[in-house]
Amino acid sequence: MEARAIQRMVRQSPRKMRLVVDLIRGRPVNEAFSILKFSKKGAARQVSKVLLSAVANARERSLKTSQRLEETSLYVKAAAVDPGPMLKRFQPAAMGRATPLKKRTSHVTILVATKES
């Protein structure tokens, strides 16, 4: 059984989010939660929310299809971070000029699945 969760428009750059997502890809869900809990990265909180949502989606899908789900057998099958739209702002610079700022956003997708025994 598979379930996924997507969070769009996260106000964190994709490069920083990918550092955290790479830590949990392919790991069991319980281990992934503990890695995210003790990570010093700010993006870990957002990734943890998406992972929690993916687990909840798997639970709901199992109830809907009347299948038995062991949450200890779930693992992170796929996790991806894609760039979202950039917020374009300007910052004052020397001699009356303005320099552009690109405030980047991310789209986080996490897919959890059960291990087949």
Domain boundaries, the chain: 2-114
Residue 49 CB burial class (10 angstroms; 0-12, 13-18, ≥19):
middle
Read off the tokens for 100.
């552009």
Q: What CATH class is the domain 2-114?
A: alpha beta
pTM equals: 0.92
pLDDT in tens, 66-115: 888 888 999 999 999 999 999 999 999 999 999 999 999 999 999 999 98
Residue 116 binned pLDDT confidence (cut-offs 50, 70, 90): confident
